[in-house]
Amino acid sequence: MNFHEKVKTLQNYFTAGKFKRVIEGCDVLNKKFPNNSFILNLSGMAYQRLDKDFRAINLFELALKADNNNIAAMNNLASSLKNTEQHFKAEQIYKKIIKLNPSYINVYNNYGNLKSDINDTENAIKLFNQGLNIAEEKNINPLVLLNHLALAFQSLNRVTETIETVNKMLKIDPKNANAHQILSSIYKYSLTNDETMTHLSQMKKILLENNFEDDQEGIISFAIGKAYEDLKDPEMAIKFLSIGNKMMNKKKSNITEEINIMNDMKKAFEDIDLNIKHKNFSNKKIIFICGMPRSGTTLVEQIISSHKNVYGSGELTFLSSDVHNNFFNENKLDKQKIVKLQNSPKNLINDQYFEKISLFNFDEHVLTDKAPLNFKWIGFIKVFFPNSKIIHCKRDPKDNCLSIYKNNFSSSEMNWAFDQKDISNYYNNYSSLMKFWYSKIPEFIHTIEYEKLVSDKKNEIEKLLEFCGLELDDNCFNHHKNTKTQIKTVSISQARHPVYSSSVNSSDKYKDHLKEMFENLI
């Protein structure tokens, strides 16, 4: 087999998702043909698909050293830099690519996603549209660009433009699962609304008549399940939600890893004095809003970020990645590193966080970070962000777990969310860890219960603002009118509406269908 045949074989492996085989093959070829830019780039792409972006960055840099005109390697390097939250470096490369080759379509999609990541969504939309113009000129399939454009419009609550964009997707591919999922998140299905009922019929027909990949079948099934939820038909809803979860559960669950992390937190911080705060930190104040996913974190951020003096940054991954990069070795927490950095004159974690957020365009002195799973890192927040506030969102365990089961989470950190037992085990361990944090630093954490927020909104919001050190602002009581904070999570439709009570005790309808999950809750 000659060089070109071997490369073709590796490309076929890549297309088939056999990324480890690609890496092995590239390693062999790199020894025979050192400094081959194409092989180095292909190997980097395989590492990138395995979420090993730091190794990928090294390979893309070697590919560019071998051939500094390799535009594909430049684009891939920028993408891995973006994935590792090195946004400024990534942006400079994207700009360089556009200057060198303004018709290179992939850069507009990737650069647009970077802009969306830093909440510069208007410019993201411009970039997606530039890419779409090139796609039209060159007769290139525009579905990926249209999908990201639709999500950008949706995050800004531009419903009409979202639907128009989704309809363009469906005109090209009537069975496109992502398009149907976006539509289902917008529609409120009703027997008296012909448009929504027609869409439900279309989705069921598509699911019945097509052989989908597992994840695509899962996406469509979740969308149908949501429609039947709207129609108050729990029997049909659970039928399709079960299919969706079954399809998505074919991903490798990370429940054991997540439980180990939570246990490591308790062991590591058991004898660390959390009242010893770092002396050096930014004068900007972060309000960390955390708790279980689907516990009300998006709603609470909408309330707080409606305040005239608060910037809502959304669901950031900064803290989680900084903790992993600085304190974990091969998924094992290094306690000595915590103690070392706690006593270091330089506050590395605080510096890294604010360096990353410096690309966000805001003037407010207070900002929110509503990544729910930051509840795992409360000890780190207390040490390295001592002037911050922690808001813990809490919800009835059964309602909370049901809401997780009903939603399709795309983050690999949520791979535990598609199995009844995994969901309840995660909830039990989350609850145990929160009790631990309360025992250590009760005054640092304010709990807001979803049920109380629904039944006594005014008092709960007043207490929330007081804890955050914010004066009363009428905007916070009209949070559903908040358009300055973008929403990019599965809570996008609910958080745009006034607080409603229909989701309280919603689990009662499913008690006979989800016994494994509910009975496993402690």
Measured between alpha carbons, how far is 149 from 153 in angstroms, rounded to an integer? 6
Measured between alpha carbons, how far is 196 from 192 in angstroms, rounded to an integer? 9
Strand pairing category for 285-291 and 328-329 = unpaired
441: amino acid identity, one letter: I
Q: Alpha helices, DSSP H only, in 387-501?
A: 397-405, 420-440, 450-455, 457-467, 474-477
Q: Which residues of the chain have pLDDT under 70?
A: 483-485, 487-500
CATH architecture of 255-519: 3-Layer(aba) Sandwich (3.40)
Q: Determine the 3-state secondary structure of 207 from DSSP.
A: helix
Please tell me what DSSP assigns to residue 331.
Answer: T
Query: Which pTM value belongs to this model?
Result: 0.92
Q: Determine the 3-state secondary structure of 485 from DSSP.
A: coil
Report DSSP letters for 244-284, one per residue. Answer: HHHHHTTSPP-HHHHHHHHHHHHHHHTTS-TT---S---SS
At 250 the pLDDT is 87
Give me the residue spans of the domains in the chain: 255-519
Strand pairing category for 310-312 and 389-394 = unpaired
At 304 the pLDDT is 97
Instruction: Convert the pLDDT of each residue in 271-323 to its tens digit.
Output: 998 887 777 889 899 999 999 999 999 999 999 999 999 999 999 999 999 99
At 214 the pLDDT is 73
Taking Cα atoms as reference points, which of 293, 352, 236, 345 lies closest to residue 490? 293
Instruction: Convert the pLDDT of each residue in 183-225 to its tens digit.
Output: 999 999 999 999 999 999 999 999 998 888 878 999 999 999 9
